[in-house]
Structure 1
Amino acid sequence: MGSTRIAVVVASTGRPEELGRWKEHILRQTLQPSRFVFAVVKPSDLPSSDAMLPCAEVVYCNPGLPVQRNAALELLLGATHIIAFFDDDYVPSAYCLEGIVDFFQRHSAVVAVNGSLLADGINTAGIPYEEAIALVDANDRNGKPEAKVICSLDGLYGCNMVYRSAAIGAERFDENLPLYAWQEDIDFAARVGRRGGLALTTAFAGVHQGVKAARLAGVRLGYSQIANPVYLMRKGTLSFKAGIRLIARNLVMNHVRAFKPEPWIDRRGRCKGNWIGILDLVIGRDHPKNILSIRQ
């Protein structure tokens, strides 16, 4: 295990508090990473110096999740065997990195994985940090988990996705998907997955808090819910059936809940963005980058 080099990448904008927690996350790991990279836009994205992990490397780049993750890839490819991409609000088990290395050593046909989520706050108001830590600590009392495959996947969930560096090759995150880049994780995993299996595993676990601060504005996300799946269907990284189902599910959900929206979701903004996206699709000018010109 000591000969396998694993790097961790956390891309973030406007969340220094969440980045500051990664010092604790990494120091409690039973296996330390060979590299740890923050991909950010500006110095104010970073935590204070006392909360900064001593071994952290920082790469500055233009905003946008694909741009930031690609900047980290350029730094790491060829220097590490495994690259783990974690969201800034992901809270990993202490056995996370050890479990990842163990998994890839045991399952040579798998090129990328998601770990088990103990909880996910993305569709709620979010999971408080103290609750997330309690869930992870309770899980860790069971000891290191077995490196089993739960099931095969067609794509990966971006909050905790891990890749063999050799399988990435020339593939990069699609920078035509700007900002929060909704569905960029599915697209990238589908392309890397042409070289081997994608899987969900018991080998590592964590909690995705689903922090709402600094997320994409409702109208922009609503547009992305139309334009991004259409773009990926045209690319061939999202099937027609899956793409239509994804669009329909979000379109219906936004409109049904617009009259009594959740406090943490701008449903009316998403509805507006949905209809701008549909109009652009009808007249043939739809493109994911159009959100850059949509007023928030």
Structure 2
Amino acid sequence: MMMARPVPDLADPAPLIVAIATTGRAPVLRETLRHLATLPDRPDLVVLSVADPADHDGDTAALPFPLTVIEAPRGLCAQRNAVLDAVGGSGVLVFLDDDFLPAPGFMAATRAVFAAEPDVVMATGRVLADGILGPGLDHAEGLQLLAAADDTAAAPEEVYNGYGCNMAIRLGAVARTGLRFDTALPRYGWLEDVDFSRRLAAEGRIVKAPAMQGVHLGTKTGRSRGVPLGYSQIANPVYLMRKRTMAPRRALRMMLRNCLANLARAPRPEPWVDRRGRLKGNLLGLRDLLLGRIAPGRIDRL
């Protein structure tokens, strides 16, 4: 049963909280928590949002920061909303994927951005390497890339949206608006970061902060099958375009790029990508678009 208010009282009136929504990847999560424990700049609290108690099997006794586990309905948007329902309305909340490794200094840089720039409502970091674009990186490879990273003092710059694997938000702005992730985007909620970003943009600036560095391992275990993802590559941009949280030109360009990539690589797909499944999902999405029945939630029937 989901807990309504599981977060303990924190001494800092403006805490930095890390939230990780995870499903079916307990070994990956365990390594990420161990990494967070090694950082010299730690969060004030870590909140895990799980769909099943087995999603978290680690020993938290030795962690150098408070950790709270909450249960929520399965799905990235629902699990992230459970975090927003549980935390207070002050401070900064950093959503991390369960396979994102922040560099030393990430938390300190995040605090600095929000302290120095009061009109910033969202900040996303510099991804040094993104395993989602290839076969994925293991934990050791991620640590090597972090060790080789250079410090950067580059100023934050405005961007269209945050990247969901590392997305920090000002909780005061969320509290004012009651903003939540759109659960009409089921399962992994593809493009939920764009939708949330553009709605939050009405409250202030969204920036990319190069000093907030990290590596996204892009771990393939627990990822969605190709057909539902291919369908989402059509349905979700159409849905966001109709909501006016994604510019039509950007949505159409994304759909075209994904369809062409899946079509071109389907004959000889990469071992780590179900290109044929994605292409089939693309075609099903285009069919439903023509029939006037396209909707993100239809992936639950695929």
Which of 138, 156, 161 matches 2:162?
Answer: 156
Amino acid at match of 1:118: L
**Structure 1 residue 48 displacement after superposition:** 3.0
**What's 1:201 paired with?**
209
**Structure 1 residue 26 displacement after superposition:** 2.3
**What's 2:4 paired with?**
none
**What's 1:70 paired with?**
81
Alignment deviations for residues 129-173 of structure 1 (CA, whole Å, 9 cap, x no partner): 11110111232xx56x43721x21111110001001111231100
Compared CA separation, residues 254 and 52, structure 1 to 2 (3 A): farther
Amino acid at match of 2:202: R
User: Is the 8 Å Cα contact of residues 161 and 198 (structure 2) preserved in structure 1?
Assistant: yes
User: Is the 8 Å Cα contact of residues 235 and 285 (structure 2) preserved in structure 1?
Assistant: yes
1:112 and 2:122 are equivalent in the alignment: yes
**What's 1:124 paired with?**
134
**What's 2:153 paired with?**
146
Alignment deviations for residues 12-53 of structure 1 (CA, whole Å, 9 cap, x no partner): 101111111233222223333222111011111113336884
Amino acid at match of 2:145: L
1:2-13 alignment to 2 at 5 Å? 4-13=14-23
Amino acid at match of 1:106: A
1:44 and 2:54 are equivalent in the alignment: yes
Percentage of identical aligned residues: 39
Question: Which runs of 4 or more aligned residues in structure 1 lie more than 3 Å from their structure 2 counterparts after TM superposition?
Answer: 50-54
In 1, Cα distance between equivalents of 2:165 and 2:33 = 18
In 2, Cα distance between equivalents of 1:227 and 1:239 = 15
The worse-fitting range, judged by mean Cα deviation, of 42-51 and 125-134 is 42-51
Amino acid at match of 1:159: C
In 2, Cα distance between equivalents of 1:261 and 1:134 = 28
Gaps of 5+ in 1: none
**Structure 1 residue 3 displacement after superposition:** 5.5
Q: CA RMSD in A?
A: 1.6
In 1, Cα distance between equivalents of 2:33 and 2:66 = 9
Which of 79, 92, 105 matches 1:82?
Answer: 92
**What's 2:300 paired with?**
292
User: Is the 8 Å Cα contact of residues 30 and 98 (structure 1) preserved in structure 2?
Assistant: no
**What's 1:175 paired with?**
183
User: Is the 8 Å Cα contact of residues 32 and 100 (structure 2) preserved in structure 1?
Assistant: no
In 2, Cα distance between equivalents of 1:77 and 1:241 = 37
User: Is the 8 Å Cα contact of residues 23 and 51 (structure 1) preserved in structure 2?
Assistant: no
**What's 2:269 paired with?**
261
Alignment deviations for residues 99-119 of structure 1 (CA, whole Å, 9 cap, x no partner): 100111111221101111111
Q: Give the TM-score normalised by the residue count of structure 1.
A: 0.93
Q: Give the TM-score normalised by the residue count of structure 2.
A: 0.91
In 2, Cα distance between equivalents of 1:176 and 1:24 = 33
Amino acid at match of 2:74: P
Match of 2:148, SS state, is helix
Amino acid at match of 2:208: L
In 2, Cα distance between equivalents of 1:231 and 1:126 = 29
In 1, Cα distance between equivalents of 2:196 and 2:39 = 27
Match of 1:122, SS state, is helix
**What's 1:103 paired with?**
113
Match of 1:37, SS state, is strand
In 1, Cα distance between equivalents of 2:60 and 2:207 = 37
Compared CA separation, residues 237 and 110, structure 1 to 2 (3 A): same
